[in-house]
Every structure is written in C-alpha cells, then in structure tokens.
Amino acid sequence: MSIKLLLTSTSFQDAPGAHQELLNEQGFEIDRMRGPLTDDELRPVIANYDAVICGDDEYTEEILKIGKAGKLKYISKYGVGLDKIDLEAARALEIPVTNCPGVNQVSVAEHVFALILSFVKNIHLEYNITRAGGWKRHVSTEIHGKTMGIVGLGAIGKEVAKRAHGFGLNVVAFDKFVSADFIRENDYIQTVDSMEDLAKQADIITLHVPHTPETEDLINTNLVENHLKKGVILVNTARGKLVDLKALNDGMDREIIGGYLADVLDIEPMPENYPLKDRENVLITPHIGSRTYESVQRQGLFAVKNLLELLGR
C-alpha cells in the first residue's frame, strides 16, 4: 500500500540521523511542512494524507473530521505532549494517536539548569555586554543551599530532582501520583500535599506537568499574591498555559517573582508584541529543551516505529 505522509516536526526535519534514515527507507511519499501548524493551515491539506508525524499542530475535532473524511488514518506524535490533539474526537473517529514518552527527560532536565544558571549568574547579560566591548560586572547569586520546588515527578521531574541534589539544592516536590519507590530511593526529596505548601518553601519552582484543564493557570493570582516566597524564580519548560500571564506580570511588577525562565509560551512562535518579550527578569528560549541531536534521534525513531507498528510493518 502506498502511504502519503505529512511530516511537520521541525526538530525531526532539522536534525540528521538514524530517524531520517529509517523514515526514508520506507518508500513513503513524504510532504514536509514546518510546524507547529494551526488549524487554518491544516484545514486545506489534511485530507490528502494517510498519516502524519506531527509536532504541536492543532488537531481539533474539526480538523480530525476533515482528515477522516479524506485519507487520514494514523497520527504519530513526535514528542510527549498530546494537549494539542483532541484525543476524544480521535477515539470517536477511530484515528489512533501515538506519542513518545520517556525520551526527552535528560535533555529537558539539562535545559532547566542551563536556564537557571544562566539567569542567576547573569550569563545572558554579561554575554551581550562583553560582545559589545564592555566590561560591566554584575553581582550574581548561588543556588547551593536554596530550595527547589518541583511540580510533577514524572520522567523529567525525576531527572531534575537528581540534578538539583547534585547542585546542593534542597528539593521539595508536589505530585498527586508520587512514586513511593522513587522517593524511598531518593530520600533527600521532601514531598508536600499542595502547590501552596510547595510555594511557601521554594526559592525556585520548576514545572513538569502536562497541560490539562486541571493544570491550566497553575501559577495564578491566588498563588502569586498569597503563597509565593518573595523573589522566587519560576521555570517553565512544560507548557505555556500552566501560567496565567496577568498573574505573572503582576507578580514581577510587585517583585514577588524575581524571574521567569521559559522554554514554552502559550502562543508559539512568539508574537512580535508578546507581553513578556522586553522584561529584563525574563529569559525565554524558543522551545528547544528537547532539541538535542541525541533526543531528536530518540524521539524521531520512536515516532517512526510507532507509525510502522500502526501500519503493521
């Protein structure tokens, strides 16, 4: 059977490696578009494809119905998060959806500390100063002895916890589904029962939960005004919609929040007039936490193999 495939993950496309080789060996007719694609971009084309390997494209119920009315039979998600795909609609339409859990935790955990250390050591500021020929020296801070609050002890949260311990941070974690075995094996982690309990202790809070209706605006006005420690640094490498932007901006204006370090935004790519773009205590990277050669190959191979399994190959 001839398969027409739409590939939209830019990480998959931009990194050479075994994932590209495996895909090219299959004899598929492959079209490439650079995602994440909006529903408006998918609407006129999705019915033409038997399968997709997608990134964070908007697979709404409408798009899935259009696809199903055409040729669409399979969706292989490159990466872990499935919040942009209407899974209930996909099930109803009998379009199987796969993803790639457990492949990017090392790269994302490393990126968390790259952001934190760049920020507290003023690397991002000093780089621009010396590149312009200057020699202005800011006074930085240490993270040793501070308390890190980890929200979500899944695959990434666990890796962050291990590295936090290595840096001499006290580790506090909140997760409704904590692995008792992991906590027993890593007894330096203190678990708490709520976001509020975590917020009261943490000098740094890092988010590692999926975006769901329950986790949307996890960082909200109530948490900012009544529970966060003054000067806390927030790190978000998970999903932009975990944070209420108004609460975040208000918290930074009032110096409750000392810094916001993000690899994800609620709108990607970042619009020209994005409200966080020009704030000095904000450090934004363009969703590159898992964009390492090692992680891309792992995720890419996983995504292709998932698709081949769906096809019965």
The torsion angles phi and psi of 284, rounded to 5 degrees, stand at -120, 130
- Same domain? 128 vs 259: yes
- pLDDT of 237 reads 98
- pLDDT of 169 reads 98
Whole-angstrom Cα distance, residue 295 to residue 297? 5
- Same domain? 223 vs 303: no
Active-site entry in 19, 287, 291, 298: 287
268 annotated active-site: yes
Tokens of 133: 């020929």
- Same domain? 124 vs 267: yes
- Same domain? 55 vs 187: no
Closest CA relative to residue 305, chosen from 44, 32, 56, 74: 74
Active-site entry in 41, 62, 268, 294: 268
Q: What is the CATH number of the domain that holds 116?
A: 3.40.50.720
- pLDDT of 1 reads 66
- Same domain? 258 vs 111: yes
- pLDDT of 313 reads 83
Share of the chain above pLDDT 90, in %: 97
- Same domain? 92 vs 137: no
- Same domain? 279 vs 175: yes
User: pLDDT digit string (tens) for 161-174?
Assistant: 999 999 999 999 99
- Same domain? 268 vs 127: yes
227 annotated active-site: no
3-state SS string for the chain: CCCEEEECCHHHHHCCCHHHHHHHCCCCEEEECCCCCCHHHHCCCHHHCCEEEECCCCECHHHHHHHHHCCCCEEEECCCCCCCECHHHHHHCCCCEECCCCCCHHHHHHHHHHHHHHHHCCHHHHHHHHHCCCCCCCCCCCCCCCEEEEECCCHHHHHHHHHHHHCCCEEEEECCCCCHHHHHHCCCEEECCCHHHHHHHCCEEEECCCCCCCCCCCECHHHHHHCCCCCEEEEECCCHHHECHHHHHHHHHCCCEEEEEECCCCCCCCCCCCCCCCCCCEEECCCCCCCCHHHHHHHHHHHHHHHHHHCCC
Active-site entry in 211, 239, 291, 298: 239
Domain housing 148: 105-284
* Mean pLDDT per 10-residue segment, the chain (313 residues): 93 96 97 96 98 97 98 97 96 98 95 98 96 97 98 97 98 94 96 97 98 96 98 98 98 98 96 93 97 96 98 90
- Same domain? 209 vs 222: yes
Tokens of 130: 């010396």
- pLDDT of 62 reads 98
239 annotated active-site: yes
- Same domain? 224 vs 112: yes
- Same domain? 18 vs 45: yes
The structural domain count of the chain equals: 2
- Same domain? 176 vs 207: yes
